[in-house]
Amino acid sequence: MNYRLVFRLLGRLLMMEGALMCPSLLVAFLHHGGDAPAFIFTIALTLVCGALPGFLLHPKRDDLTARDGMAVAGLSWLLLSFFGALPFVFSGAIPHLHDALFESVSGFTTTGSTILRDIEGLPRGILFWRSFTHWIGGMGVLVFTLAVLPRLSGRTAHLARAESPGPTFSKLLPKMGDTAKMLYALYFALSLAECACLLLAGMNVYDALIHTFGTAGTGGFSNYNLSVAAFHSPLIEWIIACFMLLFGINFAIYFHALRREGGPILHSEEMWAYLGLVLLATGAITATILPRYPDFFTALRYGFFQTASVISTTGFSTTDFNIWPLFARCMLLLVMCTGACAGSTAGGFKISRVLLLVKSAYRDLEHTLLPRKVSVVRFEGKSVPESTLTQLGVYLFIYLCLFLAGGILLSFDAGDLTTSFTASLTCLSNVGPGLGQVGPAENFAFFSPVSKLILSLLMLAGRLEIYPVLILFSPTVWKKN
Amino acid sequence: MRILVIGGGKMGASLAQSLINEGHDVTVIDRSDTVIQRSQDTMDAMFIKGSGVSVDTLREADAPHADIVIAATMGDEINMLSCLTAKRLGAQYAIARIRDPEYLSALPFLQKELSIDYAINPERATAREISRMLRFPYAGTVETFARGRVEMADFRAAEDDPVVGVPLREMYKKNKHLPQVLFCAVERGDEIIIPKGDFVIKAGDRVHVVSDVKTITQFFEALNKGASAIKSVMIMGGGRIGYYLANMLLGMKIKVSLIEINPERARRLSELLPGATIIQGDGTDQELLESEGLSDVHAFVPLSGRDEENLMAGFYAVQRGVKKVIVKSNRENYSALMHNMGLDSIISTKAVACNSILRTVRTRASRSTATVERMYRLMDGKAEALEFIADPGAPYTHVPLKNLNVHKDALIAVIVRDGQVQVPFGNDTIEAGDHVVAISRRTGISELGQIVHR
> Which of B314, B347, B380 delimits the end of a domain?
B347
Tell which wins on pLDDT, B322 or B226. Answer: B322
What's the confidence (pLDDT) of residue B152? 86
Strand positions, DSSP E, B282-434: 299-302, 324-328, 345-347, 372-378, 383-389, 405-406, 410-417, 420-422
What's the confidence (pLDDT) of residue B361? 84
Cα A96 to Cα A86, A90, A296, A409, A449: the distances in Å are: 10, 10, 45, 22, 9
Does residue B128 lie in a domain region? no
Does residue B212 lie in a domain region? yes
**Best mutation target, A65, A68, A70, A171, to test chain B (most B CBs within 10 A):** A171
Question: Region B166-181: what's the mean pLDDT?
Answer: 83
Q: Which residue of chain B is at minimal alpha-carbon distance from A157?
A: B41
| Surface of A (149-168) touching B: CB under 8 A | 154-158
The pLDDT of residue A424 is above 90: yes
Instruction: Residue B44: list chain A partners with CB under 8 A.
Output: 154-157, 174-177
Å between A355 CA and nearest CA of chain B: 21
Does residue B130 lie in a domain region? no
Mark residue B418 as left, alpha or beta (left: phi above 0; alpha: psi -120 to 50; beta: remaining): left
Smallest CA-to-CA distance from A253 within A351, A156, A157, A336 is with A351
Smallest CA-to-CA distance from A125 within A35, A42, A44 is with A35
Q: Model confidence at B151, in pLDDT bands (50, 70, 90)? A: confident
The pLDDT of residue A166 is above 80: no
Residues B381 and B304 in one domain: no
Does residue B172 lie in a domain region? yes
The pLDDT of residue B368 is above 70: no
Per the structure, how many domains does chain B have? 4
Q: What is the domain-level CATH number for residue B399?
A: 3.30.70.1450
Question: Region B25-48: what's the mean pLDDT?
Answer: 87
Q: Model confidence at B367, in pLDDT bands (50, 70, 90)? A: low
pLDDT digits (tens, 9 = 90+) for A267-313: 889 999 999 999 999 999 999 999 999 999 999 999 999 999 999 99
Residues B269 and B288 in one domain: yes
ipTM of predicted complex? 0.78
B38 — contact with chain A (CB < 8 Å)? no
Question: Region B85-95: what's the mean pLDDT?
Answer: 92
**Best mutation target, B3, B38, B41, to test chain A (most A CBs within 10 A):** B41
Residues B58 and B83 in one domain: yes
Instruction: Count A/B contacts: CB-CB distance under 8 Å.
Output: 30
The pLDDT of residue B377 is above 80: no
| Surface of B (6-25) touching A: CB under 8 A | 25
Q: Model confidence at B18, in pLDDT bands (50, 70, 90)? A: confident
Range of the domain at B285: 229-347
Residues B70 and B106 in one domain: yes
What's the confidence (pLDDT) of residue A155? 63
Residues B334 and B367 in one domain: no
Burial of residue B283 (number of CB atoms within 10 Å: 0-12, 13-18, 19+): buried
Q: Model confidence at A97, in pLDDT bands (50, 70, 90)? A: very high
CB B448 within 8 A of CB B392: no
Separation between Cα atoms, residue B403 and residue B417, nearest integer Å: 20
Strand positions, DSSP E, B100-228: 118-120, 142-145, 150-156, 182-188, 191-193, 206-212
* Crossing angle of the two packed helices A176-200 and A141-148, in degrees rounded to 10: 110
Å between B48 CA and nearest CA of chain A: 9
Question: Region A445-473: what's the mean pLDDT?
Answer: 91
CB A93 within 8 A of CB A129: no
Residues B37 and B114 in one domain: yes
Does residue B132 lie in a domain region? no
A386 — contact with chain B (CB < 8 Å)? no
Tell which wins on pLDDT, B220 or A214. Answer: A214
Q: Do A157 and B46 touch (CB under 8 A)?
A: no
Residues B285 and B218 in one domain: no
Q: Which residue of chain A is at minimal alpha-carbon distance from B1?
A: A174
Q: Model confidence at B258, in pLDDT bands (50, 70, 90)? A: very high
Total residue length of chain A: 481
A174 — contact with chain B (CB < 8 Å)? yes
Q: Model confidence at A179, in pLDDT bands (50, 70, 90)? A: confident
Does residue B332 lie in a domain region? yes
Residues B267 and B241 in one domain: yes
Instruction: Residue B18: list chain A partners with CB under 8 A.
Output: none
Question: Region A341-367: what's the mean pLDDT?
Answer: 91
Instruction: Residue A175: list chain B partners with CB under 8 A.
Output: 25, 44-45
Separation between Cα atoms, residue A354 and residue A331, nearest integer Å: 16
Separation between Cα atoms, residue B297 and residue B324, nearest integer Å: 9
Separation between Cα atoms, residue B29 and residue B52, nearest integer Å: 7
Separation between Cα atoms, residue A70 and residue A470, nearest integer Å: 10
Instruction: Residue A158: list chain B partners with CB under 8 A.
Output: 41
Instruction: Residue A171: list chain B partners with CB under 8 A.
Output: 46
Q: Do B41 and A173 touch (CB under 8 A)?
A: no
Q: Residue A176: which of B27, B33, B44 has the nearest Cβ?
A: B44
The pLDDT of residue B319 is above 80: yes
Residues B106 and B198 in one domain: no
CB B2 within 8 A of CB B67: yes
The pLDDT of residue B129 is above 90: no
Smallest CA-to-CA distance from A33 within A98, A104, A146, A128 is with A128
The pLDDT of residue B293 is above 50: yes
Residues B431 and B378 in one domain: yes
Residues B89 and B109 in one domain: yes
Q: Which residues pair with B28 in a beta bridge?
A: B5, B47
What's the confidence (pLDDT) of residue B187? 87
Instruction: Residue A174: list chain B partners with CB under 8 A.
Output: 2, 25-27, 44-46
Question: Region B397-403: what's the mean pLDDT?
Answer: 85
Residues B343 and B392 in one domain: no
Instruction: Residue A173: list chain B partners with CB under 8 A.
Output: 25, 46
A4 — contact with chain B (CB < 8 Å)? no
> Which of B159, B191, B222 delimits the end of a domain?
B222
What's the DSSP call for residue A166?
Answer: S
Mean pLDDT score of chain B: 85
Question: Region B401-415: what's the mean pLDDT?
Answer: 86
Cα A14 to Cα A40, A76, A82, A83, A157: the distances in Å are: 15, 8, 11, 8, 20
Q: What is the domain-level CATH number for residue B115?
A: 3.40.50.720
The pLDDT of residue B107 is above 50: yes
What's the confidence (pLDDT) of residue A55? 82
Smallest CA-to-CA distance from A244 within A256, A236, A234 is with A236
Separation between Cα atoms, residue A459 and residue A434, nearest integer Å: 13
Does residue B127 lie in a domain region? no
Question: Region B46-66: what's the mean pLDDT?
Answer: 90
Question: Region B60-83: what's the mean pLDDT?
Answer: 92
Tell which wins on pLDDT, A340 or B172. Answer: A340
Q: Classify B45 as helix, strand or coil.
A: coil
Does residue B79 lie in a domain region? yes
> Which of B89, B120, B151 delimits the end of a domain?
B120
Most confident of A272-286, A436-450, B293-307, B408-422: A272-286
Count of other CB atoms within 10 angstroms of residue B443? 16
